[in-house]
């Protein structure tokens, strides 16, 4: 067996190798622990508090989407100072009037600060709701129902500066 030593007499011994390996893996474990802690504190990974029930309701959502596609309605939403405006038009581009419109405004990654909205028609086919102070990106989900009972749903991401 050959002897590994330097000119000044230093020899690598077994405990040197053990210490180097422990230091190497200790740094890796410490960095992983920091990243995992940061990831879990900023986003718990849970989008829905009822994922199983949401999965069971999936077929009902598909049927609702098919009925909505037959209507041909389109929605456009925009963020204004202290309000949100939604315009709903039919397949020919005419405004859809007389709808009961409700909505929910929430952050993309959390439900903290979510606001439930009632949108009132302020012009033909244009519905508006005033808001508490909001800043940044928000997801808007609206549900509209006409007097005949037809449902319409839409989701949009809006940004307030």
In contact, 21 and 28? CB cutoff 8 Å: no
Span 130-161, pLDDT tens digits: 988 788 899 999 999 989 888 899 999 999 88
80 vs 160: CA distance, rounded Å: 7
Domain 51-160 has CATH 3.90.226.10: no
Q: In sequence order, which residues have a C-beta less than 8 Å from that of residue 115 and are 6 or more positions away? A: 104, 105, 106, 131, 132, 134
Strand partners, 160: 136
Break the chain into its structural domains and give their ranges: 11-42, 51-160
Span 51-66, pLDDT tens digits: 888 888 888 888 888 8
Please give the model's pTM, rounded to 2 decimal places.
0.62
pLDDT in tens, the chain (161 residues): 555 666 777 888 999 999 999 999 999 999 999 999 998 888 767 778 888 888 888 888 888 888 888 889 999 999 888 899 999 999 899 999 999 999 999 988 887 888 899 999 999 999 999 988 788 899 999 999 989 888 899 999 999 88
């Amino acid at each position: 067996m050959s002897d590994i030593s330097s000119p000044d007499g230093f020899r690598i011994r077994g405990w040197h190798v053990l210490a180097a390996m422990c230091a190497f893996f200790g740094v890796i474990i410490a960095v992983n622990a920091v990243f995992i802690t940061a990831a879990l504190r900023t986003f718990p990974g849970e989008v829905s508090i009822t994922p199983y029930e949401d999965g069971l309701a999936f077929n009902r959502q598909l049927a609702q989407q098919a009925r909505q596609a037959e209507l041909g309605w389109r929605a456009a939403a925009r963020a204004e100072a202290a309000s949100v405006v939604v315009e709903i038009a039919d397949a020919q581009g005419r405004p859809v009037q007389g709808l009961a419109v409700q909505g929910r405004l929430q952050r993309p990654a959390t439900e903290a600060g979510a606001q439930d909205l009632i949108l009132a028609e302020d012009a033909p086919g244009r519905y508006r709701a005033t808001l508490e102070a909001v800043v940044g990106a928000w997801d808007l989900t609206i549900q509209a129902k006409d007097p005949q009972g037809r449902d319409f749903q839409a989701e949009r991401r809006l940004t307030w500066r």
